[in-house]
Structure 1
Amino acid sequence: MPLLHISLRAGKPDSYRQAIFDGLYRAMTEVFDVPEDDQFMVITEHEAANFRYGASYLDIARSDDLVFICITANNTRTDEQKKALFRRIVDLLGEAPGLRPEDVFINLTEVDKVNWSLGNGIAQYA
């Protein structure tokens, strides 16, 4: 049950944002075995003055098309699955909406299953 928060600079068309949603969902189903309809994602757009990044941190040449992807997921995946997920996300977002690999910034935060309530005040995974 991943929860994804995606942040990018304002001004991209709906089709661009939908391609990000679609690519992320596809990567999650293919690599993390996320079930069908397990889609909990939000995109937040920011004006240039409210979107800051290191343009060359770690010798990676980022542009204003940078997308921050923060994933919260159960701590049940191997390191290899995580690496595969990062690679698949970059590949799919390169296909559509055409993001450069340098502009895909991913952060994965893992939590215990008991830390989720998906509705009704119940810890469904506990």
Structure 2
Amino acid sequence: MTEELVAAAREIQSQSHVPYSEYRVGAALETADGEVFVGCNLENANFSNSLHAEEVAIAEAVKNGHREFTRLAVSSSRRDGVTPCGMCRQTLTEFCDANLLVLCDEGDSVSEYTLGELLPNTISEEMLE
């Protein structure tokens, strides 16, 4: 199933809007019940308004009523093992626990991390109380 999730992240890259960086990213997020939601990056001339693939995928899943996730695959057109950025990691921690498996496409192989490894000591709801 890892191959299928990575393939979904690769496939959605073709929908990216990246006129400035030409760096296509796709993400495929698997829900606890096995449904997969995909997202791609959407750049804006004002870079701070750009949307990242992981954000688009999780927004689509949450919009459709999902709140429990098991795995996330991330792939770039360069197959360089891209990981979610800090902003995306924080967004993921809002809906995913530290055990979320993050699969990073390196072309011939896939690196695996947990969200907790990528973002230890995260800002959480408990910290805000």
- TM-score with structure 2 length normalisation? 0.31
Q: If you compute each CA radius of gyration, which structure gives the higher value, 1 or 2?
A: 1
Which structure has the higher relative contact order (CA within 8 Å, separation 6+)? 1
- TM-score with structure 1 length normalisation? 0.32
